[in-house]
Amino acid sequence: MISGSIFFSFLKTKKTDLCTGTYILQQTNTTYPDNCNTMLIRPKLLIFDVNGTLLDFKPIKVALANTLANELAFDSWFAELLHYSTSESITGRYRDFGEIATATLRMTAERFDKQISETKIRDIVALIKKLPPHQDVHSALSHIRDKGIPMVTLTNGSTATLKAQLAYAELDHFFENIFSVESVRLYKPHPATYHHVIKEMKISPIYSMLVSTHAWDLMGAQRAGLMTGFVQRPNRQGYPLMDSPTLSVGSLTALSELLTGKS
């Protein structure tokens, strides 16, 4: 494990093929190509995605697999949820994420040729408020908090849902503030969603890092000028056409160790 203090002292980021790898350790006297961006910045604010990154979708996955009799039901529904929330933003409309979740679940049931009641649909969507945290979350957030790095959350869901989620998962005490896209009425990965957070927190994007397991989320934050931390949960892949994330790790534990210098 690379020490965090050393890691952030000698980082360099991949901008072209001349800069190999996401980040590599370098000596202080290394000469970088002009098109490589040398990074000497430790994040002063961590912005956490919630669903999938901090919280485990397993209860919804199981419910959808059982209801629609297909193990791919969750992936199909979640892709449609993201597709239509983004479509609402692109076309200048805003609807509550829960409303879009309900509508796209009806579509998913039709795709799998299943008839499910409105009550059942509401029950499944309501599970979003009762997702457990991933096993590495409590210890990683505790370590980051103890090192004094401010943390906030940013979600496509409503503020009310976010509060319920964090309370259920017993994570609410870790965060200085919580943010929902409903404040700007646009969905991630629109740049305005990330800019709203850093404006409210009174910090420059270059000192801010979005932590997420979703490549589309990382791409949005990256193109809004933020650093990015990719927590590669199972079956989550990077997007080949975006620049490499600032950090790519297999767990939130690994991320916390890199950010705080714990070896």
Q: What are the DSSP calls for 149-210, one per residue?
A: --EEEEESS-HHHHHHHHHHTT-GGG-SEEEEGGGTT--TTSHHHHHHHHHHTT--GGGEEE
Q: What is the domain count for the chain? A: 2
Question: In terms of domains, do 113 and 148 share one?
Answer: no
Q: Are 92 and 61 in contact (CB under 8 A)?
A: no
Report pLDDT digits (tens) over 67-85: 999 999 999 999 999 999 9
Higher pLDDT, residue 2 or 97? 97
- To the nearest whole number, what is the mean pLDDT of the chain? 87
Residue 121 has what pLDDT? 96
Answer yes or no: do 212 and 236 share one domain: yes
Confidence of residue 25 (pLDDT cuts 50, 70, 90): very low
**Is residue 22, in this structure, part of any structural domain at all?**
no
Q: What pLDDT score was predicted for residue 41?
A: 77
Q: Is residue 17 one of the residues assigned to a domain? A: no
Per the model's pLDDT, the better-predicted residue between 53 and 26 turns out to be 53
What amino acid occupies position 258? L
Q: Are residues 187 and 96 in the same domain?
A: no
Q: Same domain, yes or no, for 160 and 248?
A: yes
pLDDT surpasses 90 at 9: no
pLDDT band at 133 (very low <50, low <70, confident <90, very high): very high
pLDDT at 3 over 70: no
pLDDT at 202: 98
> Does 18 map to a domain?
no
Residue 153, C-beta contacts closer than 8 angstroms, at least 6 positions apart: 47, 48, 49, 50, 54, 162, 166, 175, 178, 179
* pLDDT value for 226: 97
Please indicate, yes or no, whether residues 124 and 159 belong to a single structural domain of this protein.
no
How does pLDDT run across 158-215, given as a tens digit for each residue? 999 999 999 999 999 999 999 999 999 999 999 999 999 999 999 999 999 999 999 9
Instruction: Determine contact, residues 171/54, Cβ cutoff 8 Å.
Output: yes
Is the model's pLDDT at 116 over the cut of 70? yes
Q: pLDDT value at position 35?
A: 37
Final residue of a structural domain among 84, 99, 130:
130
What per-residue confidence (pLDDT) applies to 238?
Answer: 94
Q: Specify the pLDDT at position 217.
A: 98
Please tell me whether residues 176 and 256 are part of one structural domain: yes
Q: Is residue 29 part of a domain?
A: no
Beta strands in the chain (DSSP E): 11-13, 37-39, 45-48, 151-155, 177-180, 208-212, 227-231, 247-249
Residue with tokens 């006297």, as numbered in its chain:
29
Give the pLDDT score at 261.
80
The number of beta carbons lying within 10 Å of the beta carbon of residue 193 is 26
pLDDT digits (tens, 9 = 90+) for 220-263: 999 999 999 999 999 999 999 999 999 999 999 999 999 988 65
**Does residue 140 share a domain with residue 226?**
yes
Output the pLDDT for position 42.
87
Give the domain CATH number at 251.
3.40.50.1000
Q: Provide the residue type at 80 as one letter.
A: E
19 close to 36: Cβ distance less than 8 angstroms: yes
Span between the terminal Cα atoms of the chain, in Å: 6
Residue 207 in domain: yes
For range 63-67, the mean pLDDT: 97
Torsions phi, psi for 111 (to 5 deg): -60, -35
The helix/strand/coil state of 66 is helix
Q: Does residue 122 share a domain with residue 69?
A: yes
Question: Do 85 and 167 reside in the same domain of the chain?
Answer: no
CA angle 210, 194, 209 (to 5 degrees): 20
> Token pair for residue 257?
């160790």
Last residue of a domain, one of 114, 130, 146: 130
Domain assignment present for 140: yes
Do residues 150 and 230 share a domain? yes
Alpha-carbon distances of 154 from 15, 53, 162, 193, rounded to whole Å: 27, 11, 9, 8
Domain boundary (130, 145, 170) is at 130
* pLDDT at site 260: 86
Domain of residue 68, CATH code: 1.10.150.240
What is the span of the domain harbouring residue 110?
A: 58-130
Q: Report the pLDDT value the prediction gives residue 262, as an integer from 0 to 100.
A: 66
Length of the chain: 263
Max intra-chain CA distance, the chain: 66
Asked, for residue 240, whether it belongs to a domain, the answer is yes
pLDDT at 123 over 70: yes
Q: What is the pTM of this model?
A: 0.85
Residues 143 and 242 in one domain: yes
The answer to whether residue 108 sits within a structural domain is yes
Q: Is the backbone peptide bond immediately before 132 cis, with ω within 30 degrees of 0?
A: no
86 and 152 share a domain?
A: no
